[in-house]
Chains A and B, each alone.
Chain A
Amino acid sequence: GAVVSQHPSRVICKSGTSVKIECRSLDFQATTMFWYRQFPKQSLMLMATSNEGSKATYEQGVEKDKFLINHASLTLSTLTVTSAHPEDSSFYICSARGTSGGPRAAQYFGPGTRLLVL
């Protein structure tokens, strides 16, 4: 199956700093990428949907100025957590959907990035 990578897999940062997480589709072109976050023992919550070359669409309650998403190419999307605070500590998972298959195109998930803000 298709592979989606995320980097870094784990990051610890100080409060107030910014952290960038990369999501790459390794063997397919992703028209659309999704960013989810998962708190311990909870489900995945969609944060935003990004399409290559256009602005991301954020879910209600997600601050677009805090969680900056860039989808500059068909194989790369980045999520930047700006001025991170301890409450931003979470497991961030990206997902990519290919260009073929129309509405039935499969959605593949990255391995996740665990962010800990001290």
Chain B
Amino acid sequence: AQSVAQPEDQVNVAEGNPLTVKCTYSVSGNPYLFWYVQYPNRGLQFLLKYITGDNLVKGSYGFEAEFNKSQTSFHLKKPSALVSDSALYFCAVRFLISGNTPLVFGKGTRLSVIA
């Protein structure tokens, strides 16, 4: 079955330290991969996506993610965390290829950055 997994419910990191939020996927074929962030009582904000090309993708607010095909992973990273990065992060996959396939979301990882 095609799926996306975020193995961590919660990630805690000190301000200024690097952060990683993990995401793995299971799919046959080439997926499109996305990261979104959600602040309390708000909709989703797009951070970045991988379609093709360079495995390292840079996105909004200093975030980046690396697509690793052999490990089927797409971990979100940031070199130096800010308290304002504290939010709920979702990894999403779009399993191509028809035009109407929706995004499928992981369960989310709550990031807490401590001052």
B-contacting residues of A (Cβ < 8 Å)? 1, 6, 31-32, 34, 36, 42-44, 46, 49, 51, 91, 93, 95, 102-112, 114
Contact B90 A111, beta carbon cutoff 8 Å = no
B1 within 8 A of A: no
* A43, B43: Cβ atoms closer than 8 Å: no
Cα distance, A50 to B96, chains bound together (Å): 18
Q: How far is the CB of A80 from chain B (nearest CB, A)?
A: 20
Chain A interface main SS type? strand
Partner of A104, one of B41, B42, B51, B90: B51
Question: B102–A46 contact, CB under 8 A?
Answer: yes
With a cutoff of 8 Å between Cβ atoms, the chain A residues found around residue B96 in the complex are 103
Report yes or no: B99 in contact with A109, Cβ–Cβ below 8 A. Answer: no
State in angstroms the CA–CA spacing of A46 and B102 once bound together. 8
Bound CA–CA A11/B107 (angstroms): 25
Nearest chain A CB to B3's CB is how many angstroms away? 12
Q: How far is the CA of A110 from the CA of B42 in the complex (A)?
A: 9
Among A6, A34, A104, the residue within 8 A (CB) of B102 is A34
Where the two chains meet, the residues of B that have a C-beta atom closer than 8 Å to any C-beta of A are 32, 36, 41-46, 51, 90, 94, 96-108
Q: Could you say which residues of chain A place their CB within 8 Å of the CB of B106?
A: 43
- Tell me whether A103 and B42 are in contact (CB under 8 A): no
Q: How far apart sit A108 and B97, CA to CA, in the bound complex (Å)?
A: 18
Looking at the complex, which one of A46, A95, A107, A111 makes contact with B42 (CB distance below 8 Å)?
A: A111
- In Å, the complex CA distance between A46 and B108 comes to 15
A95 contacts which chain B residues (CB < 8 A)?
A: 102-103
Task: Assess the A103–B97 pair: CB atoms within 8 A.
Answer: yes
Q: Which of A32, A44, A91 contacts B99 (CB 8 A)?
A: A32
Partner of A44, one of B32, B90, B98, B101: B90
Partner of A1, one of B46, B90, B94: B46
| Residue of A1, A43, A106 contacting most chain B CB atoms (<10 Å) | A43
A43 touches B90 (CB 8 A): yes
CA distance A9 to B96 in the complex (A): 32
Q: How far is the CB of B42 from chain A (nearest CB, A)?
A: 6
7 residue pairs from A and B, CB less than 8 Å apart:
A31-B99, A49-B100, A93-B43, A103-B99, A103-B101, A111-B43, A114-B41
